[in-house]
Every structure is written in C-alpha cells, then in structure tokens.
Amino acid sequence: MLKHALISTTLLVCIAYSSDIFTLNVVNQNTQESFTAGFSNVEDSLNQLDFNAIKQQINYNDTDALNVLFDFRGLPVELFFTSNSTTLKFDIPELDIHKEFTGSDRDDSIDKLQDWFKTDGGETVERIMKKLAEDSPVDPIAGNPHSLMATTVASDFALAFTDSESKIESVASSISTSASGSKSKNTNDVMITASYSSTQTDGKTSNSYTLPLSYAINFERDRDERIIFQIPITYTEVEGAKSLSLGLRIAYQKPITPHWSLTPSIGYSATGSADLETLAQLASTSLTSAYDIDIGKDLTLSIGNMIGYYTTVKLYDGEYAYDPGINNTVYRNGLLLNIPTDSLIRATSLELFVVDTRYTGSKLYIDAYQEYGFAYGFDKLSESFLGDKLKSIKSISRKSFKVGVTYLHADKLHGFKANFGYIF
C-alpha cells in the first residue's frame, strides 16, 4: 500500500516539476514531513540526498524511516530506509531491479551502493542507460532530435542529399565543357554548415547548436564524384543541463547516372554530459540515394532515400565499462523541389523540402518525426585559367550560400531549426 502511494506521489511530483530534469521527493515516514525539489543537473540532486542537506529541509534523525523518490530524467528510482535500520533498499520498478545494502551506518550503506555500481553494477548501468533512451525526452544518446544518434542521422542525410542538391544546371553545364586544348581540374570544397534548433518535449525546452565542418576532395574526371570528410560538433542545452558531442564522418559520393548518385558513409561520434551523467560513443554506417527528376519549367524534384545502422559502442571511462546496447536501423526519406529564381538574382534558387525519419530496433522515446522547410541561396561554378588558354589548365571551383528554416513535428515534440551553409 505504501509503495503504491509512493508511486502516485512520484507522478504528482513529475507533473509539478515537469520542467526539471531531476526531481526528488523525500518523506520522513515517522513524522510524515516531506519536501520536493527539482534540479537541472545530477550533481545538485545528489548533493540534496546528503543527510545533512535533508535535515535542513525536514526533521530527521538517523533512525527514522526515510523514503526517497528520485525521478532520474524520467526514470523513477526509489530508495528506502526502514525505522531503526541501516539497510538501504534500492529499487527501479520499471527494470525490476531490487537491491539491498547494509553498512555500519546509513552513510556506509550509501557508500556500498556507489561501490556496487563501480564493480558489479555495470549491467545495471547499461540497462538504465538503455531505458532512459526509451523513457527520457532529453536523453543525450538517443530518442529525440537533439540526441547523438539523431544528429548523426541528420548529418549523414544532409551530407549526401539536402546539402548537395542545389540545381543550378544552366551554370554548371556551361562551365563543365573545357575550352579547346585545355585541361580541366576541379578544386576541392570547404563546407561550413551551421544550425540552431529549439524543441519542446513534455514541457522541456531543448536548444541545440550544430557546426559540421566538411572538406570534399573532388575527382578531376567528375565534379560530382568526391570523398567527403566531416567533423560535426554539437552543443545542446536542456533546462540548464549541457551536453557536447563530436564526431568524424567519411563519405564517398558516386554518380551512377547523370541524375542518380549513391553515397555510402561510415562514422564515429561521442557525447558527454556531466549534468546528465552520460558518456557514450556511437558507430554508424549509411547508404543514401539521391535521384533527380526534371519536371518542366526548369523545376527539379530530388528524391532522397537513406538507410543506416547506428549502434552504441562499449566505453571505458576508468571506473566503468559499459555499452547500453542501443542499436537502430534508421530510414530517412525526403523530397526536395528546386525552383530557380534567376529572374530575381542570377544563379539563385528556392528549395522546398519534406523529410521523414523512422527508427527500428531499440525502443526510443521518439521513434519517428517529420521535418518541413525551405531554403534560399545561390550555387555557382566558376572557372579560371593558368597560362595560355589554349594550353592551360582550367580550374573549376564552386561557391554556394544557403539559408533556411525547418519545422520539426512528432507526437510528443514540436520545434524549429534555422540553417546556414557556405561552400567555397
């Protein structure tokens, strides 16, 4: 009966403190005194669990029955001390985890719980991390558009499709033909793309800043065939909790026909957050198809289809060795309509796009979402000659600039993203 009452109290606490990532509800069962507090990082919440800190909030002595309900990023954790006992009961009902630790006093019992996590609790840590991707709207690893897995998926698709599909065919075609007697050389491209994204999920606001830095080595025989190296950097803040991710991605873009290209890629990414008590790494591979259809009046409809596999990798951080075992096959499909606007400004175009993303495999808090947006900019190829035009090497380079806005939607989420891209 008491346990059901405690669970009900936890639900009420979560509603009252829905904007907090960590929530504590502490009850002295002897006096029925209690207090509730919300926090944006795990360190502050654990500091409040200190017995001296508890005594500053309610009357409590070391023999009282004490119940602590800890909402850990959406996962309820329960800790109990019965009257006149030093035995700590540690329960995570959703994972059917029930442990007891008995020390010389209650502080020693808590120390034994911490020692157990470092030595024999690795499997429990893995299960907790996997469950958080399923239950938490703000998990840094997976389960929301600002997580490591989601930003990696989006970067893979953008690298092969949305960031590569500007269609200023008239300019490109006129330059691709070499002058008589000259040889053509494609210069390599530096790509700087940046985005700011803000989402609302279950009353929690998440803001993310992404800066993928890319370098493309273009093949001399075909400017559309290239190898791309990318280092994506993402900084995310959720209700005051901060996380950072960094990765390395290699992609090979291969034209199959003048209207169809394939881009396989492999990558490694990692994320860390002291506030959210998370450190994880991710391996990924994907294959993206981009197909262009000319639909008249200089309009081009591009179809992008990606399948990718994303999996967490075992991590060693000195005290712990764990892999949450989050493995997902992801499908990301999009349509992009390119509308030339040369009548306004030469070599410019307006792009309208819609993208659908779906995850299969490990259960996630959000496993499908849609994006609707537009972008406007210019994409121009230019040529220069070294030496005499009849015997020289013609250098072909590209300059591209694009800005856009995207609306994100899912059953549990809505938000927007502002995009900026520059290629030179």
What pLDDT was estimated at residue 230? 95
Query: Average per-residue pLDDT in the chain?
Result: 85
Residue 157 is inside which H or E element, if any?
helix 148-157
State whether 97 and 192 are in the same domain: no
State whether 156 and 274 are in the same domain: yes
Structural domain includes residue 91: yes
Structural domain includes residue 232: yes
Q: Which domain holds residue 45?
A: 2-120
Instruction: Quote the percentage of the chain above a pLDDT of 90.
Output: 60
Last residue within a domain, chosen from 83, 100, 120:
120
**Where does the pLDDT of residue 215 fall: very low under 50, low under 70, confident under 90, or very high at 90 and above?**
very high
Structural domain includes residue 166: yes
**Where does the pLDDT of residue 104 fall: very low under 50, low under 70, confident under 90, or very high at 90 and above?**
very high
State whether 86 and 30 are in the same domain: yes
Residue 149 has pLDDT above 60, yes or no: yes
How many domains is the chain partitioned into structurally? 2
**Where does the pLDDT of residue 67 fall: very low under 50, low under 70, confident under 90, or very high at 90 and above?**
very high
What pLDDT was estimated at residue 353? 96
Long-range Cβ contacts of 106-111 (<8 Å, 24+ apart)? 106/51, 106/62, 106/81, 107/51, 109/81
In tens, the pLDDT along 31-60 reads: 999 999 999 998 898 888 888 899 999 999
State whether 190 and 300 are in the same domain: yes
State whether 284 and 197 are in the same domain: yes
State whether 274 and 344 are in the same domain: yes
State whether 115 and 174 are in the same domain: no
Helix and strand tally (H, E) in the chain?
7, 21
Can you give the CATH number for the domain in which 295 is found? 2.40.128.130
Structural domain includes residue 195: yes
State whether 82 and 202 are in the same domain: no
pTM: 0.86
State whether 87 and 185 are in the same domain: no
Residue 148 is inside which H or E element, if any?
helix 148-157
Cα separation, 303 vs 338, whole angstroms: 11
State whether 154 and 114 are in the same domain: no
Within 10 A of 174 (CB to CB), how many other CB atoms are there? 10
In angstroms, what CA-CA distances link 229 with 155, 189, 226? 12, 11, 10
Last residue within a domain, chosen from 104, 120, 136:
120
Using DSSP's 3-state secondary structure scheme, residue 234 falls into strand
User: Once rounded to an integer, what is the mean pLDDT over residues 158-167?
Assistant: 71
**One-letter-per-residue 3-state SS of 285-314:** EEEEEEEEEECCCCCEEEEEEEEEEEEEEC
State whether 304 and 163 are in the same domain: yes
Cα separation, 10 vs 68, whole angstroms: 10
The DSSP 8-state label assigned to residue 159 in this structure reads: I
State whether 348 and 221 are in the same domain: yes
Cα separation, 359 vs 78, whole angstroms: 31
Structural domain includes residue 142: no
Least trusted range by pLDDT, from 74-88, 155-169, 289-303: 155-169
Cα separation, 210 vs 149, whole angstroms: 14
